Amino acid sequence: MPQTIAVLDFGSQYTQIIARRIRECEAYSRLYPYGTSAEQLRADGVIGIILSGGPSSVFAKNAPLPDPKIFELGVPVLGICYGVQLMGRLLGGAVAKSKEREYGHGTLSIAKPGRLFNKLPRKLRVWNSHGDKLTALPPGFAAIGTTENSPYAVIEDRARNFYGIQFHPEVFHSERGSDVLRNFLLNVCGATQDWTTKDFIKHAVSDIRRTVGKSRVLLGLSGGVDSSVAAALLHRAIGKQLTCVFVDNGLLRAGEREAVEALYGRHFKIDLRVVDASALFLRRLKGVSEPEQKRKIIGRTFVEVFEKSLKQIGKGVDYLAQGTLYPDVIESVAIDNNPAALIKSHHNVGGLPERMKLKLLEPLRELFKDEVRAVGEALGLPREVVWRHPFPGPGLGVRVLGEVTRDKLEVLRQADTILLEEMRKSGWYAKVWQAFCVFLPVKSVGVIGDERNYSWVIAVRVVESIDAMTADWTRLPYDLLQHISNRITNEVRDVSRVVLDISSKPPATIEWE
C-alpha cells in the first residue's frame, strides 16, 4: 500500500475535500473517525495526520476529541480550524470565544513562511469559518501568520512538526490553499507521490482478489458511471466470478435497458442477468409522496430483487458489490461518532439485511466522481459511459416529485430526452456536471393553438461541479434555453410550462429529492 495521510474527521462539511486535495497531490489519504486510536494509526503506517474542521466548539459539553496519544506518534500533525483549536487546548495553550466571528474571506498575513508557506506570497485571501480562536500558544509553538481577528491564524512547532491554521486551505475560496497542503505533504511529511489512477487499480485489483478468494460476487449494474466502473474493475480482478444483475425498476431513462444489454452483455461478455421488476417497484410506490420514504421503498425493493436473483444464480455467491462513492457515504450516514448531520439516504449505502448472508464489497467507496471517471478510462470503458452525467440510484423516482406513476414517468422521460439531445448537440453536455429534468406535481395554464392547455410543469436543472460536494447552476445561453423550452412544450403533450432551477449547493442539493 502507498504511504497514508490520515484525515481525522470532526464533522466539517469540507472534510471530504481535504482528502480530495491530498489525492490531487498524488498522495494517498484516508478518512478516519475522529476518535481513532493512535495504535490503529501506527498499525496503518500513517506518515502524517490532519485534524479537520468541524461544527462543534471546543467548549461544548460533548465536543469531539481525538486520542491525545496521536501527538506522541512522532509524525507531523496539521490542525485546520477546529483542529488548530483542539491542538491549542490539548497541548497547553488557550482558546476563547471570538468577539468577532470570522466567516467568509479574510486576509492572511505571513510573517515567516516556514515549511507550510514556502515559496508562497506573504499575503493571501483565505476562507474562514470559526467562532473560537487561540488566545495563547501551547509551549514550543510560534505564530507565523495572522488574519484581521486572529493573531494566531498560523502556528508551528518545528521541533515536533506540529502545525495549525485557522482558515480552510482545502476550499476553492482560499488562494493557494492547495499549495499549503502540498507543502505539508511534501516538505513536512516527506510523502512520496505514489497515488495515481494506475496505482489505485493495481491495489484495488489485488485487494479484491485477496478479499473474494474463490467466491462469486453479485453486482447491481445500473449502467451509470459508478456501477459501470465497479463492474469493469471487478471483472478485471475476478473475471467469471462476477455476475451482474440489471434491474429494470420502471424508473429508468429512455433506452437505458437496451444500452446496458448491448454494452455489458454482448460487448464486454460479462455474465449479465436482466430482471424486469418495474411492476413491483411502481406498485410499492403507489400513493407515496414523501422523498425519504420513496428512497427507502426503492432501496428495500432492490434488496428483495437481489435476493431472488441470488437464489436463481445458485451457490457460491458470498459478496454483493456496489458502486458506492465518498459523496454517497458522507450524505447518507456519518462515519462512526461523526457529528456531521445526515442529509439524505442513498439506496446503496448502509449495509445489508442479515438474512441475505452476503458481505458488502464497495471497491470505489473512497473515490470521488472525477477519480472514478479516470479509473473508468484507464479500464477501457467507452467515453460516453465514463463521462455520462450522474444518475441517482433511485432513478426517476426522485425526479418525479410527489407520487410516482407510469404517466408522469413517461412525461419526464420525453422531456429529459429532449434536454439531453439539445445539450449534446450544442456541446454543453460535456461542459457541465449534470443536466436533467424534474417533474413538478403542479399544473399550469398554457395555450396550444387556440385551445386552453392545463398541464404539468417541468423544471430544468443544469449544474457545474467537481465532486458533487458543492455545485453552482450553469449559465446556459438564452437561445439554447429557449430552444429546449420550445421543444419540450411543443413535443411533450402534457407539459404546458418549463422553468429553470437557479439554486446552488449549498443551500440546495443537486437533486430535488
Q: Are 1 and 45 in contact (CB under 8 A)?
A: yes
Where does the pLDDT of residue 30 fall: very low under 50, low under 70, confident under 90, or very high at 90 and above?
Answer: confident
Whose CA is closest to 80, among 158, 3, 17, 149? 17
Report yes or no on 511 lying in a domain.
no
* CATH number of the domain to which 11 belongs: 3.40.50.880
**Res 332: pLDDT:** 52
Identify whether residues 205 and 274 lie together within a single domain: yes
- 505, amino acid identity: K
Report yes or no on 172 lying in a domain.
yes
Whose CA is closest to 249, among 301, 324, 296? 301
Alpha-carbon gap, residue 39 to 44, rounded angstroms: 9
The CA–CA distances, whole Å, from 26 to 136, 185, 199, 411 equal 36, 10, 10, 45
Is 305 annotated as ligand-binding? no
Identify whether residues 273 and 210 lie together within a single domain: yes
Identify whether residues 218 and 147 lie together within a single domain: no
Alpha-carbon gap, residue 45 to 33, rounded angstroms: 16
Identify whether residues 175 and 84 lie together within a single domain: yes
pLDDT tens-digit map of 341-396: 444 444 444 455 566 678 889 999 878 888 899 999 999 888 888 999 988 889 99
DSSP state of 505: B
Report yes or no on 474 lying in a domain.
yes
Identify whether residues 58 and 138 lie together within a single domain: yes
Is 222 annotated as ligand-binding? yes
pLDDT tens-digit map of 485-498: 999 999 998 999 99
Identify whether residues 109 and 163 lie together within a single domain: yes
Q: Are 439 and 473 in contact (CB under 8 A)?
A: no
How many domains does one find in the chain? 3
Q: Which residue has the cell 477519480?
A: 371
* Lowest model confidence (mean pLDDT) among 33-42, 87-96, 436-445: 87-96
Where does the pLDDT of residue 512 fall: very low under 50, low under 70, confident under 90, or very high at 90 and above?
Answer: very high
Identify whether residues 130 and 261 lie together within a single domain: no
Report yes or no on 209 lying in a domain.
yes
* CATH number of the domain to which 271 belongs: 3.40.50.620
* Element at 453 (helix H, strand E): strand 451-464
Alpha-carbon gap, residue 344 to 362, rounded angstroms: 19
Domain end position, chosen among 136, 160, 188: 188
Most confident range, picked from 104-108, 224-228, 350-354, 400-404: 400-404
Identify whether residues 155 and 299 lie together within a single domain: no
Residues recognised as catalytic: 81, 168, 170
> Which three three-digit cell numbers place residue 500?
429553470
Report yes or no on 314 lying in a domain.
yes
**Res 372: pLDDT:** 93
> Which three three-digit cell numbers place residue 427?
456541446
Report yes or no on 513 lying in a domain.
no
Whose CA is closest to 150, among 161, 170, 169, 136? 136
- Find the domain containing 317 and state its range: 197-386
pLDDT tens-digit map of 454-467: 899 999 999 999 77
Identify whether residues 156 and 103 lie together within a single domain: yes
Q: Are 349 and 324 in contact (CB under 8 A)?
A: yes
Report yes or no on 394 lying in a domain.
no
- Please say if the pLDDT value at position 322 is more than 80: yes
- Please say if the pLDDT value at position 446 is more than 80: no
3-state secondary structure of 40: helix
Q: How far is CA 263 from the centre of its chain?
A: 26
Domain end position, chosen among 386, 409, 435: 386
Query: Between these two residues, 439 and 225, which has the higher pLDDT value?
Result: 439
Phi, psi of 478 (to 5 degrees): -60, -40
Q: Which residues contact 187 (CB under 8 A, 6 or more apart)?
A: 115, 116, 118
Report yes or no on 393 lying in a domain.
no
> Is the overall model pTM greater than 0.85, yes or no?
no
* Partners of 107 in the β-ladder: 125
Identify whether residues 90 and 172 lie together within a single domain: yes
pLDDT tens-digit map of 465-481: 977 778 899 999 999 99
Is 150 annotated as ligand-binding? no
Start-to-end CA distance of the chain, whole Å, equals: 39
Where does the pLDDT of residue 100 fall: very low under 50, low under 70, confident under 90, or very high at 90 and above?
Answer: low
Report, as an integer, the average pLDDT of 113-139.
87
Identify whether residues 178 and 242 lie together within a single domain: no
Domain end position, chosen among 386, 415, 448: 386
Identify whether residues 160 and 217 lie together within a single domain: no
* CATH number of the domain to which 473 belongs: 3.30.300.10
- Please say if the pLDDT value at position 91 is more than 90: yes
Alpha-carbon gap, residue 14 to 329, rounded angstroms: 14
* Average pLDDT score, the chain: 88
